[in-house]
Structure formats: structure tokens, C-alpha cells
Amino acid sequence: MFFFAILVGLFFVPGVRPLILDSKDDLRHDLVREPPKIFPKSAEYTFTRQIQLSISGGEDFVYTIRVPRPQTIAEQQEVSPPIVSGDPQVTSTGFYRWEETVQGDGVVLIEVRYHLTAFTHRWEINEQSSGSIADIPAAYKRDYLGDKWKIQPSDSDLATLARQITGGTDNVYLALFLIFDWMQHGPEPIFYEKQRSWEPQDPQQTLLGRSGDCDDQTILYASLARSLGIPVWLEMGALFDQSQNAWGGHAWGRAFIPLKDGTGQVVNIDLANSQFLVRDPYRLTEWVEEGNATALEQYYKYASFSYQSVGNIGSSQAFISQQFEPSKEQVVVTNAGQDAKVFRYLTPGFEVVTALTAVLLVVLVSRRRRTGG
């Protein structure tokens, strides 16, 4: 009877119920590890990026500043045209470009003011609806497989590791999740470490040190996935920290998942924030890798200089938050799109109370029966 009491209690505990109801749930262990998260359905922002150059002790100093021009992405972000200082060019690759010659000492200040609404988004894909690696269109294989700057799927050790992690599955969704889960919860997980340099680490360095920042982890993830023939690439932008009321640079992954119905979807995977096929409303996408290794490297070099003689050059970048208005409507999300059903029937707090009450009542009844017998 005591075992029955435990079984009844477990039936109502969040994250355990699917183990009983569906033992074939491909993300059942993730439900225990990653509790559901509550996000605003949307959030509205205004913030300003400031880039400052300080020049002293020189002459004929030529600078070039490049800043991405963000675009609206359906169901993810709505971006108004930024307000920019000066009169920059707009390049064919979607960047604002300032170029000027400064003679003698001086300070250059570039400002870009953003206004956007960001949305919580979850991709409803699972192992059953996902297609195989063979279903990936040729265009994605052309642009997002192979070595590109720091992304190095040709490394034989990384390729061997990817096959070990995924067990040889050709299901794209499952392979992507298994690599994600291994990096997050494996025997030796990859821990987040604050950025130490403007240039990302090589994936081998991240793997060896078991730590890295957002783009370090995404580059390792992309290298592992690409070695299997699955296209994963970088999405660059900024992330809002509510506790600090501040923005900072951020990077996460995009991947293409073919579906059995003949279509496919481009999804987000954020290793640093433990989000698999989930996009929170606290971010702005500025630029997305397009399969060009040179363009990817140049993204990290927003400022370039040339000069005949100069004493000192200083550069800095800052984000200034002016508005943050989250929606009153909130949504509960999990990393597994199909597992949202698990959390629809009761709030988590009520489930815990129900579980404890069920255990207590059945144990009391069991004791009374033993005593009376």
C-alpha cells in the first residue's frame, strides 16, 4: 500500500507524470532536468548603442565603423527602422557603415537607437514529426556545412564524438537534442564562462576546457552537428538582463529541421541559456550568418582603423536601456514543444500540494488498516 501511495503521488508531480503516462517520450529525462519557464508573451524595448573612439597624439586618422541593421522576423521580433547618428552608408550585406578622417586629437561618438517588440516563440517539433538527414535541402547543405572560420566539423575527433553522442541516428531533431543534452547535462557538461576575448575560442579549446561563453558553446555545437551533416549556424544580437536593466552582446544557434510532411523549419538553440527550440522575448537578432566565413569573422570586428602616425587609440561600446515593457500575458514553455500538454491541467504549485496530500492520505489509510487487522 505504501508503494501505491508513492505511485499516486508521483502521478501528480510535474515532470514525473509523463514517465508514467508515456515511457516512450523522447524528452522525458529533460523534463526532470529543465523545469518549465514563465516568460512574458512579448516585451517592448527602446535602447541605444554607443560606440566611442578616442584619438590622441596623431594625425590623418581614418576609421570605419560597421553596425548590423536588424530586421523584423515573423513571430519573433518586430523592429522599427533604427535612428542613427551621422549619415552612414547601408551596405549590401545589411550593415550601417560610417567612415571618416580625423585630423589630430578627437572623440568620435556613434549612436544607434533601437525600438522593437520581441515575442516568446516555441517550435512544435518532435522526434516523430522530424525528417532525416537525407531530407535536408541542398541549399542548406551548401551554405551551412563544412568549415567556416571557427566552426570546424572536419576535425576527426569532433566528428567521432558527435557519432558517439547521437548513436548513429539520422533523425535530425533527435540528433540536435542529444548533442544539446550532452553539452548541458552529460558526464562532463560544458559550463558557461564570461567572455574573455573579442575572438571566440576554437571548438577544441571549448571542449578541452569544458567551458565557454555564448558563441564558444554555439561554435562547438555547430561543429558537432555539421560533422553529422546537419546545418547549424550562428545568430548574433543582444540580450536583455532584467535584473541589471541592461543589454549585452549575445550569440546563439540556428538549425534547419526537415519535417516528414515535406516542409522544414529554421529553429533557435541557445546553449548559454539552456533553450532548445525556444526563443525568449529578451533578445534582439541583429545579424545571421549566411555561410560566408569572412563575413562571420568581420562581424566581430565592428571597428577598423588606418593612420600615418598616432599616439593612442581607445574604443568602447555600451548599451543604454530606455524602455522595457513586458506584456501582462505570460506563457509557460518547456524545451520540448510536444511536452507543453504536461503542464496545461494544473499550476505547478497546486500539483505539488496535491502530490503531498495524496501520499499523506493513502499512508494514513494504510496505517489504520494495519492497526485494525
- State the SS3 of 22-91: CCCCCCHHHHHHCCCEEEECEEEEEEEEEEEEEEECCEEEEEEEEEECCCCECCCEEECCCEECCCCEEC
Whether 295 is covered by a domain: the verdict is no
**Same domain membership, residue 69 and residue 146:** no
**Same domain membership, residue 349 and residue 308:** no
Q: Taking 80 as the threshold, does the pLDDT of residue 99 lie above it?
A: yes
**Same domain membership, residue 321 and residue 269:** no
Whether 293 is covered by a domain: the verdict is no
Amino acid identity of residue 284, one-letter, is L
Instruction: State residue 268's pLDDT score.
Output: 97
Task: Place 27 in a pLDDT band, splitting at 50, 70 and 90.
Answer: very low
Three-state DSSP at 162 gives helix
Nearest to 192 by CA among 181, 206, 175: 206
**Same domain membership, residue 23 and residue 87:** no
* 201-254 pLDDT, tens digit each: 999 999 999 999 999 999 999 999 999 999 999 999 999 999 999 999 999 999
**Same domain membership, residue 231 and residue 147:** yes
**Across the strands, what pairs with 316?**
52
The radius of gyration computed from the CA coordinates of the chain, to the nearest angstrom, equals: 25
**Backbone angles phi and psi of 302, in degrees to 5:** -70, -20
Q: CB–CB of 330/35 below 8 Å?
A: no
**Same domain membership, residue 101 and residue 114:** yes
DSSP character string of 182-237: HHHHSSSPPEE----SSSPPPHHHHHHHTEE-HHHHHHHHHHHHHHTT--EEEEEE
* 138-149 pLDDT, tens digit each: 999 999 999 999
Q: Which domain holds residue 90?
A: 40-118+301-326
Q: CB–CB of 40/102 below 8 Å?
A: no
Q: How many domains is the chain partitioned into structurally? A: 3
Whether 294 is covered by a domain: the verdict is no
Whether 285 is covered by a domain: the verdict is no
**Same domain membership, residue 100 and residue 45:** yes
